[in-house]
Amino acid sequence: MAEEFAAEPTSVDPDLYRRAIGRFATGVTVATTFAGQHDHAMTANSITSVSLDPVLLLICVERAARWHDAVLESGVFGISVLGHHARATASWLSTPGRPLHGQLDRVAHHRGQVTNIALIDGALAAFECRTTDVHVAGDHSLVVGEVVGIELPPRVDPALVHFRGRYGHLD
* Domain annotation covers residue 44: yes
**Range from 3-12, 22-31, 103-112 carrying the lowest mean pLDDT:** 3-12
* Domain annotation covers residue 16: no
Domain of residue 54: give its range.
27-154
* Domain annotation covers residue 10: no
Task: Give 16's pLDDT tier (boundaries 50, 70, 90).
Answer: very high
Q: In this structure, how many other beta carbons lie within 10 angstroms of the beta carbon of residue 154?
A: 4
* Neighbour-count burial of 52, counting CB atoms closer than 10 A to its CB (0-12 exposed, 13-18 middle, 19+ buried): exposed
The amino acid occupying position 114 is: V
Q: What is the CATH number of the domain that holds 37?
A: 2.30.110.10
Span 45-99, pLDDT tens digits: 999 999 999 999 999 999 999 999 999 999 999 999 999 999 999 999 999 889 9
Span 104-119, pLDDT tens digits: 999 999 999 999 999 9
The amino acid occupying position 51 is: S
* Domain annotation covers residue 104: yes
Average pLDDT over residues 132-144: 97
* Domain annotation covers residue 105: yes
Task: Give 155's pLDDT tier (boundaries 50, 70, 90).
Answer: confident
Average pLDDT over residues 138-152: 97
Distance CA 155, CA 166 (A): 25
Task: Give 42's pLDDT tier (boundaries 50, 70, 90).
Answer: very high
Coil/strand/helix, residue 9: coil
Indicate the number of domains in the chain. Answer: 1
What pLDDT, on a 0 to 100 scale, did the predictor assign at position 38?
94
Residue 74: closest CA among 48, 108, 112: 112
The pTM (predicted TM-score) of the whole model is 0.91
* Domain annotation covers residue 18: no
Average pLDDT over residues 136-163: 95
Task: Return contacts of 140-144, CB within 8 angstroms, 24+ apart.
Answer: 140/46, 140/60, 140/61, 140/62, 140/63, 141/60, 141/61, 141/63, 141/68, 142/58, 142/59, 142/60, 143/58, 143/59, 143/60, 143/61, 143/71, 143/77, 144/50, 144/56, 144/57, 144/58
* CB-CB contact of 78 with 127 (8 Å): yes
Distance CA 99, CA 44 (A): 18
What pLDDT, on a 0 to 100 scale, did the predictor assign at position 119?
98
Residue 72 phi, psi (nearest 5)? -65, -40
65's CB contacts (< 8 A; 6+ apart) are: 42
Task: Give 11's pLDDT tier (boundaries 50, 70, 90).
Answer: confident
* Domain annotation covers residue 80: yes
* Domain annotation covers residue 7: no
